[in-house]
Amino acid sequence: MKSVYKCSVKRIAALAVMVCMLVFAGLAFTSVVNTNAEEAIGQGHVNYDVTGLRIRTSTSTSNSSNIITTVSGGFKFDIYGETTDDGDKWYDIGFYMGEIYKRGYIFAAYVTVDKRTDYKPDADFEEYLNQQGFPESYKEGLRQLHASHPNWVFVADHNGTDWNTMVQQQNVKTRSLVHKDNISSWKSMADGCYDWEKGEWYSFDSGGYVQASSELVQYVLDPRNFLNETYIFMFEGLSYDSSVQNKDGVDSVIDGSFMDGSSHNLDGYTYSTLLMKAGEVSGVSPYHLATRIIQEQGYKGTGRQISGNVSGYEGYYNYYSQNAYASDGYTAVQNGLRYAKGTDTKTLRPWNTRYKAVVGGAINLGSWYINKGQDTLYYEKFDVVNYSHQYMTNVLAPKSEAKTSKKAYSETTLNNTAFKFIIPVYENMPDEVCAEPTGDGNPNNRLKSLSVEGYTFTPTFSLYTTEYDLIVENNVSKVTVKADALADNASVSGTGEHNLSVGNNKIVISVTAENGDVEEYTINIVRKATDSEPDNNPVEENGFTCTYDIDENNSIISGISVGSTASDVISNITFKNGCYGKISGADGKEKTSQKISTGDTFIVYTKDGREYKRYAVVIYGDINGEW
């Protein structure tokens, strides 16, 4: 059966936790907008990865006296206007502080405009969107961008790739990673990704990177999440364009980073002039080269691949972390520098100078990706053709690099340049935009022990096995169930004393993790019938005959093959004197083509429809019908 990936609905518990977390400095997240603000031209929110963003009485940042308060990711506000101060855009906003509605200014680079109410319909643009074949769910974001930047060009790339297939391929283990220090809902709980017994995620790359959750993968894959002024730059074309890209722009990108005013020996170049040279030679945007170096080596340049002093690789550099992944007993850093030591005249290897590493790595980047059609940050990460030809494993890289890329452009350039954005459109996309997962807390919802006092059930307990069988004598009217969770902060329900009826008794033990995830363990306990139960209609003469194992004393039928359906079983029984049979599930509903499992009931009826006999179904080797 083909899996269908729909955008996950966030748990109520997780939402409650987030709302509680977003009450800060007397500022309630629940009071989000001024409902009477007829003058407001839109609404926005602080980007979710931002903390401590200042709201000020003016756009001046020279002193702290104008700070009203600080806010963090998810905080919402009204927008009344926008202004520019020394090339930086600010929004004039309104917001609630407690029950008081205040006005102030917020720096535009760290927020997202959700909606502009001053947008005036543009018939030509609407026709263009239709010609491009943008789905309706894309259009509102594009309208907002068009209102602010009418020169920008948006191209719908109908890449022919099925959404479900793309999600499945990006969830292949080690293909989409995220740092282990992120919230739990960003990290995968799939088989082989999380060690339940230790309560830790498995690391798949140097620096503590673990497999990203499917929910996070879907969020980043969904282009509709990034149709705003900042993240749209993950769709910007990355080819070299001398009419747009210049040294001043590179200086803007590297401002404050280790490349800004560096004393590194670059063979007579500065980093900004060297990146312009590398862009011209490779055909790759120098802005993209700068952001890629920052992404790989950090703003402070602490990446060991450019230190030049790694033992055994002294004097070698790999600025773009090419071929840098852990394998064959080597760390990612070692493999990257092993590659730097290789020989290739086209790419200037060995990279035994910083000049050759910056320029030669750029040539590689162009020939491997950008000059082959993977010419956006998004497509460098998400290969829609072969799925595996991807520059980076960090699933959030396109998002973080988009922020850095935008920094390259002044407000004048942003407002007056006809940027071209290539936006993917997949086949069979979900109707709803895939939300960013926000839940946090320990996700461990497994048991370390489960037992029925005085008995041994089948199979032997394993934290990965969630259903068990047990048969007790008729004189056993109650049992005591014990269970302990692996995680100290998980809660367990369903333990203690349970009364037993004759036949099958389904006991469910629920384990609720700190983050709200629930796992259920089931014990099917069959209590035998009394030996003195009257049998007024001998089975062999009046009811049926079959090859299954019938325990008349205990009203149990067994010997049924794993995976059998109800119709399979009924067809192999010979009924007499007009009798007939049915099999019902634990919910009392009749089964026909469904697989049967322990806990189902086999009922024999007389020809006039009266119940003649019932048997508890027991299947050894399978207890839930999933095989």
Half-sphere exposure of 511 (CA within 13 A, CB side): 26
Nearest CA-CA partner of 526 in 549, 558, 567, 561:
558
Is the CB of residue 413 less than 8 Å from the CB of residue 407? Answer: no
| pLDDT > 70 in the chain, percent | 90
* pLDDT in the model for residue 4: 58
How confident is residue 585, by pLDDT bands cut at 50, 70 and 90?
confident
Mean pLDDT of 39-53: 86
What are the distances in angstroms from CA 618 to CA 458, 560, 568, 570, 601?
11, 8, 16, 15, 9
Of residues 611 and 57, more confidence is placed in 57
* pLDDT in the model for residue 29: 39
Per-residue pLDDT of 147-168, as tens digits, reads: 889 989 999 999 999 999 999 9
Q: DSSP readout, 454-519?
A: T---BS---TT--EEEEEE-TT--EEEEEEEESSTT-EEES-EEEE--SEEEEEEEEEE-TTS-EE
* pLDDT in the model for residue 622: 56
* pLDDT in the model for residue 623: 45
Q: Average the pLDDT over each of 33-42, 106-115, 479-488, 491-500 and give the range with the smallest value.
A: 33-42
Residue 40, amino acid = A
Per-residue pLDDT of 449-467, as tens digits, reads: 999 999 998 889 999 999 9
Is residue 536 scored above 50 in pLDDT? Answer: no
Is residue 411 scored above 90 in pLDDT? Answer: no
Provide the CA 534 distance to its chain's centre, in angstroms: 59
How confident is residue 534, by pLDDT bands cut at 50, 70 and 90?
very low
Per-residue pLDDT of 313-339, as tens digits, reads: 999 999 999 999 888 999 999 999 999
The number of beta carbons lying within 10 Å of the beta carbon of residue 459 is 12
Per-residue pLDDT of 172-195, as tens digits, reads: 999 999 999 999 999 999 999 999
Mean pLDDT of 248-265: 92
| Spatial separation of the C-alpha atoms in residues 9 and 536, rounded to whole Å | 55
Nearest CA-CA partner of 76 in 41, 29, 13:
29
Residue 372, amino acid = K
How confident is residue 571, by pLDDT bands cut at 50, 70 and 90?
confident
Is residue 547 scored above 90 in pLDDT? Answer: no
* pLDDT in the model for residue 625: 44
Is residue 10 scored above 80 in pLDDT? Answer: no
Beta strands in 108-220 (DSSP E): 111-116, 153-162, 177-179, 194-195, 200-201, 209-211
* pLDDT in the model for residue 75: 94
Mean pLDDT of 355-365: 97
Mean pLDDT of the chain: 87
| Spatial separation of the C-alpha atoms in residues 567 and 579, rounded to whole Å | 16
How confident is residue 226, by pLDDT bands cut at 50, 70 and 90?
very high
Of residues 200 and 405, more confidence is placed in 200
How confident is residue 409, by pLDDT bands cut at 50, 70 and 90?
confident
* pLDDT in the model for residue 201: 96
* Helix segments in 341-392, DSSP class H: 354-368, 377-381
Q: Average the pLDDT over each of 384-398, 408-422, 500-514 and give the range with the smallest value.
A: 408-422
Residue 530, amino acid = T
| Spatial separation of the C-alpha atoms in residues 87 and 83, rounded to whole Å | 10
* pLDDT in the model for residue 295: 85
* pLDDT in the model for residue 331: 93
Return the residue matching tokens 């946090």: 440
**Cα-based angle 552, 554, 558 (whole degrees, multiple of 5):** 75
Is the CB of residue 210 less than 8 Å from the CB of residue 188? Answer: yes
Mean pLDDT of 611-624: 75
Mean pLDDT of 368-394: 92
**Cα-based angle 507, 513, 517 (whole degrees, multiple of 5):** 80
Question: What is the reported pTM?
Answer: 0.66
Q: What is the 3-state secondary structure (H, E, C) of 6-50?
A: CCCCCCHHHHHHHHHHCCECCECCCCCCCCCCCCCCEEEEECCCC
Is residue 207 scored above 70 in pLDDT? Answer: yes
How confident is residue 531, by pLDDT bands cut at 50, 70 and 90?
low
**135: preceding bond cis by omega (within 30 degrees):** no
Q: What stretch of H or E contains 460?
A: none
Of residues 69 and 109, more confidence is placed in 69
Mean pLDDT of 357-373: 93
Nearest CA-CA partner of 619 in 567, 556, 560, 566:
560
* pLDDT in the model for residue 289: 94
Give me the residues paired with residue 506 across strands: 524
* pLDDT in the model for residue 544: 75
* pLDDT in the model for residue 293: 94
Is the CB of residue 116 less than 8 Å from the CB of residue 98? Answer: no
Provide the CA 25 distance to its chain's centre, in angstroms: 30
* pLDDT in the model for residue 28: 40
Burial class of 407 by CB neighbour count within 10 A (0 to 12, 13 to 18, 19+): buried
